Amino acid sequence: MAGLREFSPGIRFDGIGGEAMAAEGLASRFPMAELTVMGLWEVLPRYRALKRRIAETATAVAETRPDALVTIDAPDFGLRVARRARAAWPDLPTIHYVAPSVWAWRPGRAAKMAEVIDHVLALLPFEPPLMHAAGMSCDFVGHPVVAQPRATAAEAATFRLAHGIAADAPLLLMLPGSRRTEVTRLGPRFGDALRRLRSRHPGLAAVVPTLPGVASLVRVMAGDWGAVVVEGADAKRAAFAAADLALAASGTVSLELAANRVPMVIGYDFAPLTRAIIARMLRTDTATLVNLVSETRAVPEFLGRACQPEALAAALDRLLTDPSARAAQEAAMRLTMQRLGEDGAPPGLRAARSVLGYLERRTEIQPPPSTRVPPAS
């Protein structure tokens, strides 16, 4: 939104968003929090309310006739809105931000999305050909992680001092997930791995950055782990800057760790039935984005039944004792950040340029000067 405003100062926004979007001028039609539900059991009690919000939003799109509809991630909501809005107004230009991970599983999702989406803004450099094959135009616009602020060395030192962590003590980040189901499933294994690792490295300190939705659960577990728990964006950034290594749930947090050059071990598991289904559908031998983007297997990962405390502890121990293991990860992390656009234009500007460029191509009419798209850099 900030990028669009830079290229087209008179632009207006309508839709649903949170605080950051409100700061860019969006008056959200309803609170974004109504959409932040994950998983079957969490969705079921709110199914009718969510269906109503989808219908309301699609009607609003059809009535306001925007120059473009941009849906952001959350396909269960955004693509349903796009489908209903398109049914009411077939000429609606539709753009989706964050390509579906068809490279990992369910390749048919791209073709299904192409029924209602014209153009895709991809976060990963290998995704555009997959979207093109499904019939959509697509630009790689860089991953937002490369533009996230990072703490300074001074802030990292202050963090250690504030939490009584010696400057020379190895510091482990514990990241068991952001959802209660993840923390409940992974927390005990991560805690057991920490205990095993401390038997080999008695001076090891641990810190757990967490979010309000799981903070109470994490604090109970961390009390048994002898770990520091912190909340808030500033504390999280400082913890990442201060850490020597990390044990993390699989997900985009691996990219946040890579951006901060924190070597990591990844673990994840599902409920038994989900694990069996995912195992049949998975199309790649790694789920860690650092491994995928760097085209290496430098980050050890332990998924499903392999996610066991002793295996996690052994991999962490290697990062503490084997310089070659750390060096391999550091090289992979540098390459990952380069490929995600670390040295290029900010992803927000690239995404805005892609949106306006798509609309130019669609209309084949030169836009007025205020919306002319600068040349790519």
pLDDT, tens only, 269-284: 877 766 666 666 666 7
Q: Sorting pLDDT into bands at 50, 70 and 90, what band is 234?
A: very high
Token pair belonging to 102: 């068809």
Q: Is residue 377 part of a domain?
A: no
Q: Is residue 303 part of a domain?
A: yes
DSSP letter at 106 equals -
Q: What is the CATH number of the domain that holds 285?
A: 3.40.50.2000
Q: How many domains does the chain have?
A: 2
Token pair belonging to 27: 């008056």
Same domain, 207 and 325: yes
pLDDT single digits (tens) 173-189: 999 998 888 999 999 99
Residue 254 clears pLDDT 90, i.e. is over it: yes
Same domain, 124 and 23: yes
Least confident of 97-106, 270-279, 297-306, 347-356: 270-279
Task: Give percent above pLDDT 90 in the chain.
Answer: 77
Average per-residue pLDDT for the chain: 90
Q: What is the predicted pLDDT for the residue at 282? A: 67
Q: Is residue 353 part of a domain?
A: yes
pTM of the complete model: 0.83
Q: What is the CATH number of the domain that holds 109?
A: 3.40.50
Q: Is residue 238 part of a domain?
A: yes
pLDDT single digits (tens) 2-31: 999 999 999 999 999 988 999 999 999 999
Q: Sorting pLDDT into bands at 50, 70 and 90, what band is 101?
A: confident
Is the distance from CB of 239 to CB of 173 less than 8 angstroms?
Answer: yes
Length of the chain: 377
Same domain, 19 and 88: yes
Same domain, 186 and 316: yes
Q: What is the predicted pLDDT for the residue at 279? A: 67
Q: Sorting pLDDT into bands at 50, 70 and 90, what band is 100?
A: confident
Sort residue 39 into left (φ over 0), alpha (ψ -120 to 50) or beta.
Answer: left
CA distance 129 to 73: 19
Domain that holds residue 176: 153-339
User: Which residue in the block uniquely carries the two structure tokens 């079921």?
Assistant: 44
Q: What is the predicted pLDDT for the residue at 43? A: 56
